[in-house]
Amino acid sequence: MKSKLYLGLVHYPVYNKFNDVVTTSITNLDVHDIARSCLTYGVDKYFIITPNEGQRLVLKTITEFWHSDIARNYNSDRVEAIDIVEYTTSVQNLKEQIKNQEGTYPIIVTTTARKLAGQVSFKELKALDLKEQPLLLLFGTGNGLAREVISLSDYVLEPILGKGEYNHLSVRSAVAIILDRLSSEE
């Protein structure tokens, strides 16, 4: 995979623990921890995706703090990582933004902790010959991406499996693991 890489953290539409479609809240940890992983692994832009205006203002407050003199003096590495964070209202809007910037729609890869038919392995995804087509990795908050987002994807990535039956990583952990698996040596 040598193409441009974008990452989207979807806050709507996602599921809650009752399998209802909801909007989740933006958190400071998700914003700056995922930004740090993205910058470490060469992601070009990290998008926070939610149509909720109040949550957009939360994101603005977080990013403004990390661009303040206090933050720059406290931890300049986080400030650098925050520079790749952007906001958009929907996955569809993000697809259009990437098309306008890159001249082509991205290949969309969704992630899930669930086992689904037809999922692509990490090895298969790494082997794709994307040429100049950008790749957009989508992650869900809450209890995962809603079916309607997964249906937009070109590929659904296999879940990260641990040693036991428990399988509910934080999204921050899942992002770091997946980015590492996609960029690391065999």
Mind listing the pLDDT tens digit for each residue in 6-30? 999 999 999 999 999 999 999 999 9
Token pair listed for 120: 């692509």
User: Tokens standing for 14?
Assistant: 């996602």
Rounded to an integer, what distance in angstroms lies between the CA atom of residue 51 and that of residue 6? Answer: 19
pLDDT for the residue numbered 101: 94
Distance CA 135, CA 128 (A): 10
CA distance 46 to 169: 20
Residue 126's contacts (CB-CB under 8 Å, 6 or more residues apart) are 1, 182
Cβ neighbours of residue 7 closer than 8 Å, sequence gap 6 or more? 34, 38, 43, 45, 46, 47, 136, 137, 138, 139, 175, 179
Question: For position 77, what pLDDT does the model report?
Answer: 79
User: What tokens were used for 64?
Assistant: 């403004």
pLDDT of 186:
52
Q: Which residues contact 155 (CB under 8 A, 6 or more apart)?
A: 107, 108, 109, 110, 119, 120, 125
Domains belonging to the chain, first-starting first, are 5-183 (3.40.1280.10)
- Give dist(CA 55, CA 9) in Å, integer: 13
Q: CB-based burial of residue 181 (10 Å sphere; 0-12 exposed, 13-18 middle, 19+ buried)?
A: middle
Query: How many Cβ atoms sit within 10 Å of the Cβ of residue 164?
Result: 6
pTM: 0.94
Mean pLDDT, each 10-residue run in order, the chain (186 residues): 86 97 96 96 97 97 92 85 96 97 96 94 88 92 97 96 88 97 78
Specify the pLDDT at position 185.
60
